[in-house]
Amino acid sequence: MSGKAWGGRFSEGTAKIVEAMNASVGFDQALAFEDIAGSIAHSRMLAKVGILSGDEQRAIEDGLVAIAGEIREGRFAWSVSREDVHMNVEGALADRIGRAAGRLHTGRSRNDQVALDLRLWLRRELSALGEGLAATVRKLLALATEHAALPMPGYTHLQRAQPITFGHHLSAWAAMLSRDLDRLLDARRRLSISPLGSGALAGTPLPVDRHALAAELELAGITVNSLDGVADRDGALETLGTLSILMVHVSRMAEELVLWTSQEFGFVELSDAFCTGSSLMPQKKNPDIPELLRGKAGRVFGAQVALLTLMKGLPLAYNKDMQEDKEPLFDAMGTARQCVAILPDLLSAMTVRPDKMTAALKDGFLLATDLADWLVEKGVPFREAHHIVGAVVGHCVLHGKRLEDLSLEAYRELSEHFDETVFTALDVARSLGRRSLPGGPAPEAVRQGIARLASELAELEARLAAGGPSALERALTRGESLPPAKATRSEALATGAKVGS
Ligand code: ARG
């Protein structure tokens, strides 16, 4: 006898080296609360359909609650020979309550159990990450409001291009992160359904009530096919895709902070608390946190590629390969949550330097396009105007002058279309103010953009609040007394149905 839950057909024990490779408990214990919540919900459902007696169900539920307490307090003895989180919990339950524990796994397989646990874990983690993103977007919108009218150079190819405002730039960051929040909520909605009842791959002949189980966990529905129910890891893949795009955004914001805090730009200073020094060069103040944010993107992309590679070409349904989904997923989620959690404080640590931004607006011919637009308004075709202003800029470069330094005579030598009103075009405030179309950098348009982002954020926050972890999971994680079982199947369905997000 091997002493394993599956040991019936084995006559020899497992080799130690095999046990070590096979075991996932070292990392999948992160799913403990989801596993226990899933088991409690399963036991309640089994009692509802008459597979468990009331006494058996109570013994199982009380035992599982006690085990959750031990885990919360760090007193639970995890065992490698019990392989994974599922068998550790079930084994501990048997140690506590004896034979009745053996009825918990009725109509269930570890394959649908782990699929459920992962969905519940993703729902919880995406919800927490969503909170952090919402807080960051809120912070960005507050800063953008403060700096809605502060002019700064806008860039393409990292070359000074046209004037924008700092509030406009911060609003762009807010728009990026609010799309991430939207995407994350989409992913959460799609994965918040129950695979339990898929069994190992072919369901179960026992009269389990899949809808009641789903409703107990406030999941919006059930998976449609038992093979797909245990073989599908789309929720994890989609989450990693979402996290990857989020980290692209975080890394771009971080890179801009690295640039802006450099002496070459100097647009922003970061407080000492967010920087470190050099052990060699006494003058250094390095933007380590933005650099780390930039660098951590790589881990998340790596996790996505790992999981895509893992799942590619796997035959249906469950394969043990899929146990390898967890470490990259956990690492990526932990990384993304850590990065997002630090963003609001990092933004608070910025001191903006309007003087440096203004100085940078002086050089670089940022108003050349406005000059061309001025010619267009005089009736010159844009291509011609572009050519004329190109010649003006070339003239300035040659003589070391700015656009506003040239005399009217000099302008008229370059084109007869110029007259004395040309100098009105060479004003940053005018340039900004005229770009007042929706989405533009005029301070008024920036404020309107902020208002739109704020109302979108309110909608996203409402969705976020509606589709998080069930009351059962929340109580279990916090060590509070559990909500009662949903009394009837129809009551359960009614609660399940309103969870749409
Ligand atoms: N630890 C396993 C995993 O994460 C649980 C499912 C095991 N199923 C099985 N048939 N061996 O994938």
Domain ranges of the chain: 15-106+477-495, 112-195+232-360+450-469, 368-426
Tell which one of 110, 196, 311 to mutate to probe ligand 1, the residue whose CB is within 8 A of the most ligand atoms. 110
Give the closest residue (by CA) to ligand 1 atom 11.
320
Q: Which of the following is catalytic: 11, 157, 279, 481?
A: 157
Q: Is the CB of 113 under 6 A from ligand 1?
A: no
Q: Is the CB of 322 under 6 A from ligand 1?
A: yes
Q: Is 269 helix (H, G, I), strand (E, B) or coil?
A: strand
| Distance in Å, CA 233 to ligand 1 centroid | 13
Q: What was the pLDDT predicted at 101?
A: 96
Q: Is the CB of 100 under 6 A from ligand 1?
A: no
| Distance in Å, CA 30 to ligand 1 centroid | 15
Q: Which two tokens stand for residue 152?
A: 């700064």
d(Cα 446, Cα 49) in Å, to the nearest integer? 59
Q: Is the CB of 114 under 6 A from ligand 1?
A: yes
For the CA of 320, the closest atom of ligand 1 is: 12
In the numeric block, the tokens 């095999």 are attached to 18
> Tell me: domain 112-195+232-360+450-469, CATH 1.20.200.10, correct?
yes
For the CA of 83, the closest atom of ligand 1 is: 1
Q: What was the pLDDT predicted at 274?
A: 85
| Distance in Å, CA 195 to ligand 1 centroid | 15
CA quadruple 58, 64, 68, 69: dihedral sign: positive
Give the closest residue (by CA) to ligand 1 atom 4.
323
What type of residue sits at position 409? E
Write the CATH number of the domain with boundaries 368-426.
1.10.40.30
d(Cα 213, Cα 493) in Å, to the nearest integer? 9
Q: Which of the following is catalytic: 53, 278, 348, 455?
A: 278
Q: Is the CB of 126 under 6 A from ligand 1?
A: no
Q: Is the CB of 323 under 6 A from ligand 1?
A: yes
Q: Is the CB of 84 under 6 A from ligand 1?
A: yes
| Distance in Å, CA 110 to ligand 1 centroid | 6
Any idea which architecture 15-106+477-495 has in CATH?
Orthogonal Bundle (1.10)
Give the closest residue (by CA) to ligand 1 atom 12.
323
Q: Is the CB of 117 under 6 A from ligand 1?
A: no
For the CA of 85, the closest atom of ligand 1 is: 1
| Distance in Å, CA 23 to ligand 1 centroid | 9
For the CA of 200, the closest atom of ligand 1 is: 10
According to DSSP, the β-strands at 159-165 and 268-270 are unpaired
For the CA of 84, the closest atom of ligand 1 is: 1
| Distance in Å, CA 209 to ligand 1 centroid | 23
Q: What was the pLDDT predicted at 488?
A: 59
CB proximity list for 253: less than 8 A, separation 6 or greater: 173, 176, 290, 293, 343
d(Cα 36, Cα 474) in Å, to the nearest integer? 12
Q: Is 154 helix (H, G, I), strand (E, B) or coil?
A: strand
d(Cα 261, Cα 267) in Å, to the nearest integer? 6
> Active site includes 157?
yes
Q: Is the CB of 24 under 6 A from ligand 1?
A: yes
| Distance in Å, CA 316 to ligand 1 centroid | 14
Q: What was the pLDDT predicted at 492?
A: 53
Tell which one of 27, 114, 330 to mutate to probe ligand 1, the residue whose CB is within 8 A of the most ligand atoms. 114
Q: Are 78 and 29 in contact (CB under 8 A)?
A: yes
Tell which one of 111, 311, 319 to mutate to probe ligand 1, the residue whose CB is within 8 A of the most ligand atoms. 111
Q: Which two tokens stand for residue 105?
A: 């796994």
Backbone dihedral angles phi then psi of residue 205, each to the nearest 5 degrees: -80, -10
pLDDT tens, residue order, the chain (501 aa): 456 877 888 888 888 899 999 999 999 999 999 999 999 999 999 999 999 999 999 999 999 999 999 999 999 999 999 999 999 999 999 999 999 999 999 999 999 999 999 999 999 999 999 999 999 999 999 999 999 999 999 999 999 999 999 999 999 999 999 999 999 999 999 999 999 999 999 999 999 999 999 999 999 999 999 999 999 999 999 999 999 999 999 999 999 999 999 999 999 999 988 887 777 777 778 899 999 999 999 999 999 999 999 999 999 999 999 999 999 999 999 999 999 999 999 999 999 999 999 999 998 899 999 999 999 999 999 999 999 999 999 999 999 999 999 999 999 999 999 999 999 999 999 999 999 999 999 999 999 999 999 999 999 999 999 999 999 999 999 999 999 998 655 555 555 544 333
Q: Are 253 and 175 in contact (CB under 8 A)?
A: no
Q: Is the CB of 110 under 6 A from ligand 1?
A: yes
| Distance in Å, CA 404 to ligand 1 centroid | 72
DSSP designation for 482: P
| Distance in Å, CA 320 to ligand 1 centroid | 6
Give the closest residue (by CA) to ligand 1 atom 2.
323
| Distance in Å, CA 417 to ligand 1 centroid | 77
Q: Is the CB of 111 under 6 A from ligand 1?
A: yes
Q: What was the pLDDT predicted at 499?
A: 39
Q: What was the pLDDT predicted at 500?
A: 37
